[in-house]
A and B are shown apart, each in its own frame.
Chain A
Amino acid sequence: MALLDIRNLELGIARGSELLPVVQGVSLAVEEDETLGIVGESGCGKSLTALAIMGLLEGTAVRIAGGTIHFQGRDLLALSPEERRRVMGAEMAMIFQEPMTSLNPVYRVGDQIREAILQHRSMSGRQAHQRALDLLELVRIPDPMRRIDSFPHQMSGGQRQRVMIAMALACDPKLLIADEPTTALDVTVQRDVLELIRSLQARTRMSVILISHDLGVVSETCDNVAVMYRGRIVEQAPTSTLFSNMSHPYTLGLLGSIPALDHDVEWLDAIPGRVPTLDEAVPGCAFHPRCFAAQGACRTVDPGAAAVSPAHFVRCHFPQGSSS
């Protein structure tokens, strides 16, 4: 049984009496000790899917319109808010792109980590302090005895992200959701943080969902990848399969958009046009107005997900061949 099993998740934004769909028919599974990458551009629904898993959509305009989210066999969407809170933070945790907005600027980082621990565990203040020190050491903050008394603004962006990871790990979560965890960081710091997440995972066997716009980051860190476009998963496969046999024109377009580092390309194979806004209804396949392979059926019929090989699913009428 998968640790996390999402079936046909539907999310919508309430607009008057209408519900504009923002996530449609998303099905995902994450096994223990596995890293799943979710790739897509802004507005594709990758972050909203994560917030739905974490139960953080309450108080927003986003509504869950259908589907199930099973975590360790329990349907999270059927739990009461109270039960939900107990699972959150203790068994799953989330880190965000900009740690400064998640850390409280007026408290020392040690106090914030201790608070995260004491929310979910009963232990003395002294034990919590020791646990906070251990966690700072675990995320490789140099000189934790001194840094535990630092304020967030006294730390670099990379160190703040490490503190966020320490807080997320406070209760040994089974699932860590990292939403663009390195997007705001310099590349050399990004490398260190990605390696840290990998090594922590190897140690604790936790599962990770890594949300990113960067195919390179996902390629280097994930076991499986789901590519999202306008609320749907358009392609999903084990990472090595995906990168050796990309089938969806959108995935290929993303790849073509990235300038190469090891050879010169005259012009990038950019995807034409832009993502339609939520108000613009697109009949048929949502990608067809930008797609080089679009034909008649694409303009009228929304394609279902079909397997091109075992464990490799594509939502496209004309998936591209293995030669491309």
Chain B
Amino acid sequence: MTRPLLEVRELKTHFSIGRRGFMRRKSVLRAVDGVSFSIHEGEVLSLVGESGCGKSTVGRTLTHLETATAGTAMLDGRDILNLSPAAFRPLRRDIQMIFQDPFASLNPRLSIEQMLAEPLFIHGLARDRSEARERIAATLELVGMDANSMSRYPHEFSGGQRQRIGIARVMILTPRLVIADEPVSALDVSIQAQVLNLIKRLQRESGMSMLFISHDLGAVRHISDRVAVMYGGRLVETGMKRQIFETPRHAYTQRLLASIPRLGKRIG
């Protein structure tokens, strides 16, 4: 591990939520309220916590899907939070996101080829269709899909295959930082394992950095180098994976770990 690729300092993302009644003041939801962490080159940092803790908002803020209220996020010595949309656009190739349902935001009428060619042309990574096809075929094989699937459409694929295609759409840009927000939560147990192995292998082979956002502590242990535990918009504990899982210091981390149902244990 070398220098930090990304350094987030005192990140805050607040939302104003609807005023109740005509004269009432607007109230503020402090979804992310002063979060600091760094991710080194080739490192996987997990952000773990329960629903509403703000973990997804961190990822969405870093990719400009939400607007930061305060704080900085330095990438290559540049604060990416204060960039205009035009100045941020070229960076989108470097910072890519894997979503729980990668097809929710994609046009179902596009073939897989069209879907994977789009980012290539946007970022000028392919000059023509045949060059794009070559790259698409190679990337599909990288994620364990047959190159022939490029002529097919999203509805022809199972949930696990769709997530592989979603991952291909990210990997085809060879990003430096991938933000994966609950990438396996919607998948069946046996498919989850396949996709977790895939993400881990791709991360190792490409040397990319990753922010892995999840509520699933097992998946987090499998994939991370370091873990940050989030509660109520703040990080309550950050540490090396083994330290967090074997000697958790914060009471919330301890409670979280104690709540997970274990095999061969019985309650009641």
Contact = CB atoms under 8 A, between A and B. Distances in A.
Given A216-B263, A220-B265, A186 B50 contact: yes
Interface stretch (A11-19, A64-72, A269-277): A269-277
B148 interface: no
A220 B258 CA distance: 13
Contact of A188 (B158, B259, B265, B268): B259
Contacts of A256: 193
Contacts of B191: 41, 274
Contact of B189 (A41, A201, A260, A262): A41
A254 B217 contact: no
B262 A219 contact: yes
Interface in B181-203: 188-194, 196-197, 200
Interface stretch (B55-63, B133-141, B218-226): B218-226
Given A221-B267, A253-B190, A261 B50 contact: no
B199 to A, nearest CB: 11
A267 B265 contact: no
A265 interface: yes
B268 A199 contact: yes
Contacts, number: 120
Contact of A186 (B193, B215, B267): B215
B193 A216 contact: no
B221 A188 contact: no
B102 interface: no
Which secondary structure dominates chain B's binding surface? helix
A186 B196 contact: no
Give the size range of A's interface with the partner: 35 or more
B219 A259 contact: yes
A268 B197 contact: yes
B218 A219 contact: no
Nearest to A229: B190
A220 B189 contact: no
Interface string B230-262: 000000000001100110000000011111111
Contacts of A78: none
Contacts of A86: none
Contacts of B196: 259, 268
A237 to B, nearest CB: 14
A172 to B, nearest CB: 19
B124 interface: no
Contacts of B193: 256-259, 268-271
Given A41-B190, A216-B262, A219-B262, A259 B197 contact: no
B50 A41 contact: no
Given A187-B50, A215-B263, A202 B217 contact: no
Given A254-B189, A259-B218, A259-B219, A219 B265 contact: yes
B261 to A, nearest CB: 3
Nearest to A196: B268
A170 B9 CA distance: 52
Given A259-B219, A269-B193, A187 B263 contact: no
A213 interface: yes
A19 B51 CA distance: 41
Contacts of A275: 188
Contact of B160 (A195, A217, A244, A274): A274
B189 A213 contact: yes
Interface string A262-303: 101101111110110000000000000000000000000000
Contacts of B24: none
A243 to B, nearest CB: 5
Contacts of B264: 219, 240, 243-244
Interface in A189-207: 190-191, 194-195, 198-199, 201-202
A216 B261 contact: yes
A194 B259 CA distance: 11
A154 interface: no
A259 B195 CA distance: 12
A264 to B, nearest CB: 7
A214 interface: yes
B153 to A, nearest CB: 16
B261 A214 contact: yes
A191 to B, nearest CB: 4
B266 interface: yes
A240 B263 CA distance: 10
A194 B261 contact: yes
A274 B191 CA distance: 7
B12 to A, nearest CB: 24
A165 interface: no
A284 to B, nearest CB: 20
Given A261-B260, A262-B245, A270-B190, 15 more contacts: A41-B191, A186-B51, A187-B217, A188-B256, A195-B268, A199-B268, A214-B189, A216-B262, A216-B263, A220-B261, A239-B266, A270-B194, A271-B190, A274-B160, A274-B191
27 contacts: A41-B188, A41-B190, A42-B188, A187-B50, A187-B215, A187-B217, A187-B256, A188-B256, A190-B259, A190-B261, A191-B258, A191-B259, A191-B261, A215-B189, A220-B261, A220-B262, A221-B268, A243-B263, A243-B264, A244-B264, A257-B193, A258-B189, A259-B219, A261-B257, A264-B221, A271-B194, A274-B160
Report, nearest first, the 9 A-B pairs whose CB atoms are least far apart: A198-B268, A216-B261, A257-B193, A270-B193, A259-B218, A259-B222, A41-B188, A186-B50, A268-B193
